[in-house]
Structure 1
Amino acid sequence: MASPDRNPWRRFLALPNTSRTKTLVVAFLVSAICAVLVSGATVLLRPIKAANRAAEEQARIAALVRGVPGMAELLERAGGTLSTVVIDLDTGRAATGVTPDTLEATLADAANWTALETGEDVAGIGHRPDFAQIYLLREGETVSLVLLPVAGQGYNGQIEAILALRGDMNTIAGIAVTGHAETPGLGARIEEPAWQAGWPGKLLRDEAGTLRFAVARGSATSIHEVDGITGATRTSTAMTRMVRFWLGPRGYGPLVEAIRRGEF
């Protein structure tokens, strides 16, 4: 009489295909292998996706700057590049010990985020990073253009954009929406060049220094307003609140004042 096979794998393979044990084990193995492959692909592709997103943002920044009247000449005189600075939002000064290369790791630490109280969180973001990367263009010692990343809660999700300001820190030079989840054909129009073209030249504050910027419910009626988007009142309101928060005291307010005083 032949001795029984002591190899468990061969004994398993010898089971009939109708065996419930064999079916469950095979299903588990296939699922496990697929999970490993998917996880591995995610890890391998993450740097590529991050690089692609960074490249897309840089392309939007370049397009935004090129669309500002007179900026091509200023860039040429400045050597064709914007300077990049990480600022401490609480002080409005260049951050100490945090660089563009270390910013992502810094913001991965929850200790470097500030919880916002309901009354001050007009943008609906919940928490604000303590540090932000901005872009500057100088003409001699004078700041002539500032690009500020901003974000706020829209109708369907977070809206991300880059707001460009002239050196007076009161005149909008342009805006580029870099991410959103708004409704196609309605709120999603915030990414259309035709709508964004209405932003340059608008003023943030009145002569008394009060922040007046708003996306109107209909057509703009003042130098502080941008035309609203028909059928997308909540998205329009979100854009208003986003700009007002980030240009206020809990956002870039301290930086704005430092630049206006010539101290940055």
Structure 2
Amino acid sequence: MASNNDSIQKTILVALALCLVCSIFVAAAAVGLKPIQNANKDLDRKRNILSAANMLDANTSVDAVFETIETRIVNLQTGAFATQAELDEAGITPATYDQQAAAKDPQLSVALAGSEDPASIKRRAKFAPVYLVKSDTGIDRVILPVHGYGLWSTMYGFIALEDDFDTVIGFGFYDQGETPGLGGEVDNPNWKALWKGKQVYNDQGEAVIQLAKGGVDSSDPQAIHKVDGLSGATLTSRGVTNLVQYWLGKEGFAPFLSTLRSEGAQ
């Protein structure tokens, strides 16, 4: 009997030792791979920003092209670039600022409810990164982060505008969990290409760009503000409309874009 007990105890000890060794190896691998994972995540972010702005170049590295882009932080409450004092107080560094993480921090975000939250994001960060492509004459294009809820998921993407801060250059999501073949068609290059040349604002300065159920009628006077809806994905299409109108509206980037226009985009 004692012999059996010794055997069971030894088996348990060996199993525990094996688990301990394996956990050490897994922890070491996780720590060791963390810098690589962060670098890949940053590279993917840059690639998606460049893709929205139609600036990907097969002959030039992503990092090299991204060096031509200036990253700034906008105070969404004032519609202006955040001052250094504001950045210092919030503990923000433009190159590493994580808007998603900030939206979960009560000190760096505001709660939204009801009609304040058409994009269903629940909380909005007080600061947002913007990406500027400049030339000798000023800002050539601006790339803005947008996000909002579709049918199954929060969709995260970027929209790029020309130097009139109204005409769309490109638009795309880099993270979404919508139904493949239906709402998941937001990843379809053919659909994303439909956004190019569309205008966000009407004559009153309201963000009216939207997805049109059944497709855009070219004879419609408002066709310049409309993109074909996603077939069979009404709720995802509605979510896309809501999030784009929200982020380019008065509670999002509209005050900032208005400031750029009034200042001559210098």
If the TM-score is normalised by the length of the shorter chain, which range does it land in?
Answer: 0.7 to 0.9
Question: Which of 109, 116, 126 is matched with 1:130 structurally?
Answer: 126
Q: RMSD across aligned C-alpha pairs, in angstroms?
A: 2.9
Structure 1, unmatched stretches of 5+, are 1-13, 69-78
Match of 2:196 in 1: 200
Runs of 4+ in 1 over 6 A off after TM superposition: none
Q: Is the 8 A contact 1:61 1:176 kept in 2?
A: no
Structure 2 counterpart of 1:247, one-letter code = L
Question: Which of 206, 209, 224 is matched with 1:210 structurally?
Answer: 206
Q: Is the 8 A contact 1:82 1:137 kept in 2?
A: yes
Aligned residues: 242
Using the TM superposition, give the Cα deviation of residue 41 of structure 1 relative to its aligned residue in structure 2, in angstroms: 2.7
- After superposing the two structures, state which structure 1 stretch, 35-44 or 234-243, moved more: 35-44
Structure 1 counterpart of 2:93, one-letter code = T
Q: Is the 8 A contact 1:142 1:262 kept in 2?
A: no
- After superposing the two structures, state which structure 1 stretch, 16-25 or 143-152, moved more: 16-25
Match of 1:89 in 2: 76
Using the TM superposition, give the Cα deviation of residue 67 of structure 1 relative to its aligned residue in structure 2, in angstroms: 6.0
Q: Is the 8 A contact 1:17 1:23 kept in 2?
A: no
In the alignment, the residues of structure 2 paired with residue 124 and residue 15 of structure 1 have an alpha-carbon distance, to the nearest angstrom, of 64
Match of 2:39 in 1: 51
Q: Is the 8 A contact 1:176 1:196 kept in 2?
A: yes
2:23 pairs with 1:35: yes
Match of 1:101 in 2: 95
Distance 1:257 1:15, change over 3 A: farther
Match of 1:236 in 2: 237
Distance 1:67 1:197, change over 3 A: farther
Q: Is the 8 A contact 1:85 1:99 kept in 2?
A: no
Structure 2, unmatched stretches of 5+, are 57-65, 218-222
Match of 1:150 in 2: 146
* Residues 12-31 of structure 1: CA deviation (Å, up to 9, x unaligned): xx965874444444434433
Using the TM superposition, give the Cα deviation of residue 234 of structure 1 relative to its aligned residue in structure 2, in angstroms: 1.6
Distance 1:39 1:99, change over 3 A: same
Distance 1:232 1:32, change over 3 A: farther
Match of 1:116 in 2: 112
Using the TM superposition, give the Cα deviation of residue 188 of structure 1 relative to its aligned residue in structure 2, in angstroms: 1.4
Q: How does 1:10-29 map to 2 (within 5 A)?
A: 16=4, 19-29=7-17
Distance 1:35 1:237, change over 3 A: farther
Using the TM superposition, give the Cα deviation of residue 162 of structure 1 relative to its aligned residue in structure 2, in angstroms: 0.8
Match of 2:177 in 1: 181
In the alignment, the residues of structure 1 paired with residue 48 and residue 243 of structure 2 have an alpha-carbon distance, to the nearest angstrom, of 19
- After superposing the two structures, state which structure 1 stretch, 49-58 or 14-23, moved more: 14-23
Per the alignment, in what secondary structure is the counterpart of residue 119 of structure 1?
Answer: helix
Higher Cα Rg, which structure: 1
- After superposing the two structures, state which structure 1 stretch, 26-35 or 109-118, moved more: 26-35
Identity %: 34
Distance 1:214 1:130, change over 3 A: same
Per the alignment, in what secondary structure is the counterpart of residue 142 of structure 2?
Answer: strand
* Residues 166-213 of structure 1: CA deviation (Å, up to 9, x unaligned): 122221111122111122222111112111000011111222223211
Per the alignment, in what secondary structure is the counterpart of residue 43 of structure 2?
Answer: helix
Per the alignment, in what secondary structure is the counterpart of residue 121 of structure 2?
Answer: coil
Using the TM superposition, give the Cα deviation of residue 54 of structure 1 relative to its aligned residue in structure 2, in angstroms: 1.5
Distance 1:49 1:209, change over 3 A: same
Structure 2 counterpart of 1:103, one-letter code = Y
